[in-house]
């Protein structure tokens, strides 16, 4: 077992760390008010190869493995966890478009995504629910050499600012469930598309929202993979994105811990530093321990992926544990700062609001635990009555 990093990994980690600490961290608070990601910042990150480093060089990436991509996500999200959405969505688009899109489509889009010139959202959730995604209802009806889309997608990260969406739509019968779902790459400036952002409590720069499709025509060549294979594709992509999300939320929790320790040494109560009270330091020590363990789980899962080994259960473990742990850690840091922790002057409240969204986004803790159970005991863990 080797926990060391190669010289190349250290160099990339250092480049990401510098960008994150010097460019992202100072603007974290201000970006919340902007309500959207600055395209110049995206291009800057793209030029450094920090958005989708795992893509091969022909598609605009750095050709690195999953572990190295994880190191970069962690560094970037230390400065601004919301910028990690670019990386997670980029990784999902890279997996789905790269594996299932027509090679011409992948050649056209992936370098633009990796370069920070295009933003591609992922459209799965609908107003009726996101957990039971296999029964989605947005319809794609064949009409000559195109499909016509009608329906609404809800809760889509970057809905208000994305250039395109990888959209999951029903091409088969309702009764076909997951087997009737196909994926398409849809331009969001197409006639018939409208969108609106939600008034979220956190992650405001991401602009989560709804997208409506009213008779939107999409060429059949924009279908990703075979008809009826869309659901399987997104589920394979989730095995990657769920681990990256783990690192995306552990990083700001670590940032809060790193800021809280020195405060415990400086702040005095009853004539001594509060660091001398074990009631103050033991909770922080416990969170340091759990974050170290959760980080190892993430990197081991990425390593399994890099080896081509099964990692669905491990990815689901990352997805339920890391956001909860990040929320609990940041909350403890906020409390350690006392009354000043409750102000907007300190970043803990913003981090707390931001990471909380990822307790839900990309699948809740319940569905993640169902996946772990299914991987251990089989489909009996997730079998429901037929509709």
Ligand X SMILES: Cc1cc2nc3c(=O)[nH]c(=O)nc-3n(C[C@H](O)[C@H](O)[C@H](O)COP(=O)(O)OP(=O)(O)OC[C@H]3O[C@@H](n4cnc5c(N)ncnc54)[C@H](O)[C@@H]3O)c2cc1C
Q: Interface residues with ligand X (CB under 6 A)?
A: 121-125, 129-131, 155-157, 203, 208, 357, 360-364, 366-367
Report in angstroms how near the CB of residue 357 gets to ligand X at its nearest.
3
Residue closer to ligand X (CB basis): 23 or 370: 370
What are the C-alpha distances in Å from 117 to residues 83, 120, 145, 197?
15, 10, 29, 21
Written as six digits, the tokens of 315 are 């990815």
In 3D, which of 170, 203, 239 has the Cα closest to residue 85? 203
**Smaller CB distance to ligand X: residue 51 or 156?**
156
User: How far is 256 from 348, CA to CA, in rounded Å?
Assistant: 6
Give least dist CB 359 to ligand X, A.
8
And the tokens for 207? 């602009």
The candidate with the shortest Cα–Cα distance to 370, out of 379, 361, 382, 359, is: 382
Using CB positions, name the residue nearest to ligand X: 130
Terminal Cα distance for the chain, rounded: 48
Q: How far is the CB of 367 from ligand X (least distance, A)?
A: 6
Q: Min. distance of Cβ 174 from ligand X in angstroms?
A: 18
d(CA 268, CA 274): 6
Q: What are the φ and ψ backbone dihedral angles of 148, each rounded to 5 degrees?
A: -110, 125
Q: Which two tokens stand for residue 199?
A: 């008034």
In the complex, least distance from residue 122 CB atom to ligand X, rounded to whole angstroms? 5
Written as six digits, the tokens of 191 are 């006639």
> Which residue lies nearer to ligand X by CB, 66 or 237?
237
- What is the helix (H) or strand (E) element at residue 123, kind and residue range? strand 120-123
User: CB-wise, 68 or 126, nearer to ligand X?
Assistant: 126
Q: Which is nearer to ligand X, 18 or 128 (CB)?
A: 128
Q: Which is nearer to ligand X, 130 or 252 (CB)?
A: 130
Of 75 and 362, which has the nearer Cβ to ligand X? 362
Token code pair at residue 265:
């040494």
Q: What is the closest distance, in whole angstroms, from the C-beta atom of residue 59 to ligand X in the complex?
A: 22
Nearer to ligand X (CB atom), residue 84 or residue 98: 84
Smallest separation, CB 132 to ligand X (Å): 6
Provide the Cα torsion 159, 162, 165, 166; round to 10°. Answer: -100
Q: What is the CA 374 to chain-centroid distance, rounded?
A: 23
216 φ, ψ to 5°? -80, 125
For the bound state, the minimum distance from the C-beta of residue 165 to ligand X, rounded and expressed in Å, comes to: 9
Q: How far is residue 7 CA from its own chain's centroid? A: 27
């Amino acid at each position: 077992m080797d926990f060391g990093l190669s010289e190349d990994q250290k160099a990339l980690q250092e480049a990401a760390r510098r960008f994150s600490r010097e460019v992202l961290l100072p603007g974290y608070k201000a970006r919340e008010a902007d309500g959207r990601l600055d395209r110049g910042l995206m291009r800057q990150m793209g030029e450094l190869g920090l958005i989708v480093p795992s893509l091969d060089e022909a598609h605009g990436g750095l050709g690195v493995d999953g572990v190295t991509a994880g190191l970069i996500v962690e560094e970037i999200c230390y400065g601004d966890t919301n910028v990690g959405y670019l990386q997670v969505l980029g990784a999902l688009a890279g997996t789905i478009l790269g594996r299932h899109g027509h090679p011409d489509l992948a050649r056209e889009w992936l370098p633009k995504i990796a370069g920070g010139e295009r933003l591609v959202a992922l459209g799965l959730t609908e107003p009726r629910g996101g957990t039971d995604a296999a029964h989605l209802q947005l319809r794609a009806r064949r009409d000559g050499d195109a499909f016509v889309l009608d329906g609404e997608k809800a809760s889509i990260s970057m809905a208000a600012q994305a250039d395109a969406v990888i959209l999951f739509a029903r091409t088969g019968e309702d009764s076909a469930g997951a087997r009737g779902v196909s994926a398409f790459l849809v331009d969001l400036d197409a006639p018939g598309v409208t969108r609106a952002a939600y008034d979220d409590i956190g992650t405001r720069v991401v602009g989560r929202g709804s997208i409506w499709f009213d008779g939107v025509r999409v060429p059949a060549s924009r279908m990703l993979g075979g008809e009826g294979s869309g659901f399987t594709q997104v589920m394979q992509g989730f095995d990657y994105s769920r681990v990256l999300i783990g690192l995306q939320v552990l990083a700001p929790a670590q940032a809060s811990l790193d800021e809280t320790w020195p405060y415990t040494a400086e702040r005095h109560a009853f004539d001594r530093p509060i660091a001398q009270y074990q009631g103050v330091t033991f909770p922080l020590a416990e969170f340091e321990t759990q974050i170290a363990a959760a980080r190892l789980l993430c990197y081991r899962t990425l390593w399994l992926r890099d080896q081509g080994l099964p990692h669905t259960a491990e990815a689901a473990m990352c997805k339920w544990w890391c956001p909860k742990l990040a929320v609990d850690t940041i909350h403890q840091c906020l409390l350690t700062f006392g009354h000043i922790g409750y102000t907007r002057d300190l970043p803990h409240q913003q981090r707390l609001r931001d990471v909380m969204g990822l307790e839900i986004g990309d699948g809740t803790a319940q569905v993640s635990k169902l996946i772990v159970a299914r991987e251990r005991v089989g489909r009996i863990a997730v079998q429901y009555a037929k509709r």
